[in-house]
Amino acid sequence: MRVSDFEKYNTIPKLFWCHVRNNGDNISIWRKYRGIWEPITWRQYGEWSRDIANGLLASGLNPGNKVSILSQTRAEWVVADMAIMSIGSVTAPIYHSNTEEQVKYIVEHSDSQLVFAEDQEQLDKILEIWDDLPLVKKVVVMDKYQPKNLPNVVSLEDFREMGRQYGQEHSGEFEERMASVDPEDVISFIYTSGTTGPPKATMINSRNVIAIIRHLPLIIEIEEDDMTIAYLPLAHVAERDVGHFMKLVSGNQTVFAESLDNLPHNLRQTGPTVMFGTPRVFEKFYARIATAIDDATWLQKKIYNWAVDVGKRVSAHRIDRTSLPPPLKLKNTVARFLIFHKIHDMFGGNMRFMLSGGAPISPEIIRYFHWLGLIIYEVYGLTETTGLISANKPGEFKIGSVGPIYPDTEVRIAADGEICAKGPQMCLGYYKDEEATRELLAPDGNNGGWLHTGDIGYLDDDGYLYITDRKKDLIITAGGKNIAPQNIENFMKMSPYISQAMVYGDRKPYLTALITLDEDEITKFARDRKLLYQDLADLSKKKEVMDLISHVVHEKNSELASYETIKKFCILEEDFDQDKDEITPTLKVKRKVVLNRYQGLIEEMYGAKE
């Protein structure tokens, strides 16, 4: 059942309970429980959420109170989230990979009074900082933990039982609280990635979310029998939209992967039809395929190259929306049988299409998968726009663009090239930060403010949006050339051996790069060549590795304009690390942090040691 009456179901809790009542016996969620994939119906999902919500009421949570969730993506996450929102409280998500200090910042900044923690590891973070969090009265732990006699720490099972009893003794209170939730009430904070400073708490309400999900299933043609796979952090707006909120309109199923590391295995086990991923996810799959081809026999490589050539011609017809000539159709069938189906099986075998967002993806990656018959639609949005401003979609996509503008949304390009947007999905601002809110939602002197995205881009004649770079990241060389580093970095990361690349060259005569190695691929390279090494730091200094990366950079440079080429590079001894504040939980490089940390190496590449 697809919901379409958004006047009646005008809040996220109302949309959810519409499905619980009308689709109760349908499967909503799949999760791995005790080694077995277990289905959870909408009715079970609803009963679970109601019990947790009543547990929150029993704990004294009031409308507007904040509750943090510190956990990987899993069924319990969305159950807790729905419970929090259903009683008018506010969810404050925290990335499970955050350090103790980062956890403390968000719990403290959000004024959270209760925390859902995934397991012993996450509980330990809270216990370490508990004395600094006077507002936190209780921690609910999803998995088993030791010891059991900790004051104000309770298991999710016991918390649910407490809620079940409270619901029996206070009949009707839950329904009253849910009915009182207003579409304009804040339902969640979503913390920004914090690439240029401490993360900011973006405030969103039901109106913002519904502005996205009322159109999303129609745009990407999601049906009730589709299955998405959730594996990226639900603390990020994109997974929240696709893996959690969208189904409240379309009624589709969601399978929760065990973890990002287990994603390839879980894809083959469950066979989802739709998948969202950040560029790094698709780069990893691309690297796995490239490495497998490198290890193939001469004959296998010959067949693969033939199949890819067929795929290129088929892709050109599909992009031009012209029918395939019968001989090409036959060749494509053979190519699918010999090569492509094996790659499709890596994604479960049922994938209709995939979505990419969260950061720019190399058009070459999208083209490559299109040749194989795997379609990636790039979409664009921010945390502050509840996830979407534009989206490529079936029948309307251009590789390299981020698609046509989203329904009910306006976009204009400022004089300096910045993309500005206006629409019902624009957030309410930042919690406890009026100055940043004013900068974000700058008034235009006419009919309200335009949200300033901080991204540089343009609209083509057909209304497709293109992103060129982040406004603050643009490089202006000593020669006066404007360069978008992300495009070059994405190009470099197409090599399976490169994990991260950060290009530098502002007001310098040429570009340089800091490069980190993909540990899985580079250790395989070393093993195949029988290189002896102690660790990744030692391996990064080996002549064979330096020659390999030099060859990769030279090869990539040959396809770039002369002023975009990397003249010098440095291979770092380790990958960028979130614990060192070098990258965000969504793997975006914090340029200022990295520049400060490796300034000496950068200056050496320009011939000036500190």
Round to whole Å and give the CA distance between 496 and 288. 7
Q: Which two tokens mark 306?
A: 């033939």
Round to whole Å and give the CA distance between 458 and 446. 23
Q: Which residues pair with 69 in a beta bridge?
A: 93, 116
| Domains, in order of start, for the chain | 12-181+223-264 (3.40.50.12780), 277-470 (3.40.50.12780), 474-605 (3.30.300.30)
Round to whole Å and give the CA distance between 28 and 37. 13
Output the pLDDT for position 447. 47
Count of Cβ atoms closer than 10 Å to residue 507 Cβ: 10
Find the helix packing angle between 279-294 and 363-371, rounded to 10°: 60
Output the pLDDT for position 609. 46
Where helices occur in 152-274 by DSSP H, the ranges are 156-169, 173-179, 206-213, 216-219, 237-240, 247-250, 263-270
Output the pLDDT for position 194. 64
Model pLDDT for residues 66-113, shown as the tens digit of each residue: 999 999 999 999 999 999 999 999 999 999 999 999 999 999 999 999
Measured in degrees and rounded to the nearest 5, phi and psi for residue 29 equal -135, 145
Round to whole Å and give the CA distance between 202 and 572. 34
121 by DSSP, 3-state: which?
A: helix
- Which residues have C-beta within 8 Å of that of residue 604, sequence separation ≥ 6? 570
Round to whole Å and give the CA distance between 469 and 279. 15
Q: In sequence order, what E strands does 365-507 have?
A: 376-380, 390-391, 410-413, 418-422, 429-430, 441-443, 449-459, 465-470, 475-476, 482-483, 498-504
Model pLDDT for residues 285-302, shown as the tens digit of each residue: 999 999 899 889 999 999
Cβ–Cβ under 8 Å, residues 210 and 184: no
Q: pTM of the prediction?
A: 0.89
Report the run of H or E that residue 461 belongs to, with start and end: none
Model pLDDT for residues 200-251, shown as the tens digit of each residue: 999 999 999 999 999 999 999 999 999 999 999 999 999 999 999 999 999 9
What is the torsion angle, in degrees rounded to the nearest 10, for the CA atoms of residue 14, residue 15, residue 17 and residue 20? 170
Measured in degrees and rounded to the nearest 5, phi and psi for residue 296 equal -75, 165
Q: Which residues of 79-95 are buried (b: 16+ CB within 10 A; e: fewer)?
A: bbbbbbbbbbbbbbbbb
Cα 269-336-556 angle, rounded to 5 deg: 90
Residues of the chain predicted below pLDDT 50? 445-447, 609-610
Round to whole Å and give the CA distance between 19 and 26. 9
Q: Which two tokens mark 590?
A: 């914090």
Q: Would you give the DSSP letter of residue 337?
A: I
Cβ–Cβ under 8 Å, residues 236 and 14: no
